[in-house]
Protein backbone atom coordinates (compact mmCIF):
# COMPACT_ATOMS: atom_id res chain seq x y z
CA UNK A 1 0.00 0.00 0.00
CA UNK A 2 1.43 3.38 -1.03
CA UNK A 3 2.24 5.82 1.72
CA UNK A 4 0.16 8.57 0.11
CA UNK A 5 -2.91 6.32 0.17
CA UNK A 6 -2.47 5.69 3.86
CA UNK A 7 -2.07 9.37 4.60
CA UNK A 8 -5.16 10.17 2.62
CA UNK A 9 -7.07 7.52 4.49
CA UNK A 10 -6.00 8.92 7.84
CA UNK A 11 -7.05 12.40 6.78
CA UNK A 12 -10.39 11.13 5.60
CA UNK A 13 -11.03 9.00 8.68
CA UNK A 14 -9.31 10.73 11.60
CA UNK A 15 -11.05 8.39 14.03
CA UNK A 16 -8.66 5.64 12.96
CA UNK A 17 -5.78 7.51 14.67
CA UNK A 18 -6.99 6.14 17.96
CA UNK A 19 -6.07 2.64 16.81
CA UNK A 20 -2.77 3.41 15.17
CA UNK A 21 0.60 3.52 16.82
CA UNK A 22 4.19 3.98 15.76
CA UNK A 23 7.47 2.44 16.86
CA UNK A 24 9.71 5.01 18.54
CA UNK A 25 12.82 3.83 16.74
CA UNK A 26 12.02 2.57 13.23
CA UNK A 27 8.84 4.72 12.87
CA UNK A 28 6.88 1.75 11.56
CA UNK A 29 3.18 2.43 11.78
CA UNK A 30 0.55 -0.17 12.46
CA UNK A 31 -2.63 -0.84 14.35
CA UNK A 32 -2.87 -1.82 17.97
CA UNK A 33 -3.39 -5.54 18.55
CA UNK A 34 -6.35 -4.74 20.81
CA UNK A 35 -8.28 -3.07 18.00
CA UNK A 36 -11.72 -4.71 17.82
CA UNK A 37 -12.79 -6.64 14.71
CA UNK A 38 -15.64 -4.22 14.24
CA UNK A 39 -15.74 -0.54 15.19
CA UNK A 40 -19.23 0.90 15.18
CA UNK A 41 -21.28 0.08 12.14
CA UNK A 42 -18.68 1.20 9.58
CA UNK A 43 -15.77 -0.55 7.96
CA UNK A 44 -13.13 1.34 9.92
CA UNK A 45 -11.51 -1.69 11.53
CA UNK A 46 -11.58 -3.64 8.26
CA UNK A 47 -10.01 -0.76 6.36
CA UNK A 48 -7.34 -0.12 8.95
CA UNK A 49 -6.43 -3.81 8.72
CA UNK A 50 -6.23 -3.49 4.96
CA UNK A 51 -3.94 -0.45 5.09
CA UNK A 52 -1.79 -1.36 8.05
CA UNK A 53 -0.23 -4.38 9.66
CA UNK A 54 -0.74 -5.29 13.26
CA UNK A 55 1.99 -3.63 15.31
CA UNK A 56 2.43 -4.78 18.86
CA UNK A 57 4.64 -2.41 20.86
CA UNK A 58 6.29 -3.17 24.16
CA UNK A 59 5.92 -1.05 27.31
CA UNK A 60 8.40 1.56 26.07
CA UNK A 61 6.93 1.84 22.58
CA UNK A 62 9.25 -0.37 20.54
CA UNK A 63 8.17 -2.88 17.93
CA UNK A 64 9.28 -6.49 18.19
CA UNK A 65 12.27 -6.08 15.87
CA UNK A 66 13.57 -2.97 17.63
CA UNK A 67 12.93 -4.48 21.05
CA UNK A 68 15.09 -7.43 20.02
CA UNK A 69 17.86 -5.12 18.75
CA UNK A 70 17.85 -3.05 21.90
CA UNK A 71 17.58 -5.93 24.28
CA UNK A 72 21.35 -6.07 24.51
CA UNK A 73 21.36 -2.40 25.45
CA UNK A 74 18.44 -2.55 27.84
CA UNK A 75 18.98 -5.89 29.53
CA UNK A 76 21.83 -4.75 31.81
CA UNK A 77 19.49 -2.03 33.13
CA UNK A 78 16.68 -4.53 33.64
CA UNK A 79 18.82 -7.05 35.45
CA UNK A 80 19.99 -4.27 37.77
CA UNK A 81 16.41 -3.73 38.85
CA UNK A 82 15.83 -7.36 39.78
ZN1 LIG B 1 10.73 -0.57 15.44
What is the extent of the structural domain holding 75?
A: 3-81
pLDDT digits (tens, 9 = 90+) for 22-77: 999 999 999 999 999 999 899 999 999 999 999 999 999 999 999 999 887 666 66
pLDDT of 81 above 60: no
CA of 8 to the centre of ligand 1 (A): 23
CA of 28 to the centre of ligand 1 (A): 6
80 vs 60: CA distance, rounded Å: 17
Global pTM value: 0.80
Domain count, the chain: 1
Three-state SS for 1-52 is: CCHHHHHHHHHHCHHHHHHEEECCCCCCEEECCCCCCCCCCCCHHHHHHHHC
CA of 2 to the centre of ligand 1 (A): 19
41 vs 14: CA distance, rounded Å: 16
CA of 67 to the centre of ligand 1 (A): 7
CA of 57 to the centre of ligand 1 (A): 8
- Do 31 and 19 form a contact (C-beta atoms < 8 A)? yes
What is the average per-residue pLDDT within 18-24? 97
Amino acid sequence: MAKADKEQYRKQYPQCEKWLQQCLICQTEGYKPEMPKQIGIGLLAQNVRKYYDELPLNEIGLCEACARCYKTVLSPLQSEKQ
